[in-house]
Amino acid sequence: MTELKRIIKSGFINFKRGGSVSFASVLVVTITLFVITAIILLQAVLYYSLNTIKDKVDVTIYFNVGAPEDKIMLLKDSISKLAEVASVSYTSADDNVKNFRDLHASDYPTIAALDEIGSNPLGATLNVKTKEISQYEDIANFLKSDNAIALGSSDIVNHSNYHNNKLVIDRLNAMISGAQKLGFLLTLYLIISSIIITFNTIRLTIFISKEEIGVMRLVGASKMRVRGPFMIEGAIYGIIATIVSLVIFWPITAWFGRNMTSFLGLNLYSYYVSNFLQIFAIILLSGIILGVISSFLAVRKYLNK
């Protein structure tokens, strides 16, 4: 414990003594953590947008006019049990004709033609949403499977709109997959670039102390005794940079929340506040690890001489 206290104390002394060099190191780590925080928020916007698109895509199963409701419900229960399915909603024939009338209320010829028929020309429908866009084909295949046929689907199902929407679904699926891959590659590139810059900056601060490290090794100081203070110094960089980064993002997200919510679809300020503890933990851990590992690697060069 005594040795640990000495190492921690030496780390704080090194930080204070560093002056402008310590300030530069904190600034670089702050920029790195700023980039990481920005990536977290950009990913939140991306996934919100993708989920919004997913929610607008579905497959509707149209039933024959007069199809027995009990058979429709049996098919609905079977579809609901599929692992790919997120939700299934049933709309009766009466509700469908009512919705049709509401939708075309200003279209007099259409309403007149409907009244002329005298009976309900529309059947019931099932609206199916899957967990992933790529899984809608599985629903279409299920309707053709032996299980669905055993439930009498061939007698009651008129058609589904999957094949009409297939081109749109495939394009959306490709777009979502591409956006996720691009987001991952961009994130990886920015983080690696930031880590390299941070490492080189901290290595510069340790280069200034190379003679001190040499003297400590000559008098018999252990590697941990030499390396420890610099690792503590690196952790201090990370802690201060975390606080600065999160404070900077507070007014930035507030501005985006006031002015860009309609454009982004997501209120960044509300997201930032509601997820602040998680973001704080991620950024603090990233800052400390970045500072400690960079210091550890930079000192190793002088310990091996």
Tokens, residue 11: 């780390």
Length of the chain, please? Answer: 305
What mean pLDDT do residues 164-190 have?
76
pLDDT at 279: 93
Q: Which residue has the higher pLDDT, 18 or 124?
A: 124
- Say which residue the tokens 């985006």 belong to: 256
User: What span, in angstroms and rounded, lies between the C-alpha atoms of 75 and 61?
Assistant: 11
58-162 domain in CATH 3.30.70.3040? yes
Q: How confident is the model at residue 43 (pLDDT cuts 50, 70, 90)?
A: confident
State the span(s) of the chain assigned CATH 3.30.70.3040. 58-162
What mean pLDDT do residues 235-247 have?
91
What mean pLDDT do residues 40-66 have?
83
The DSSP-derived string for 239-282 is HHHHHHHHHHHHHHHHHHHHHSHHHHSS-HHHHHHHTHHHHHHH
Does 281 score more than 70 pLDDT?
yes
pLDDT at 303: 66
What mean pLDDT do residues 85-109 have?
88
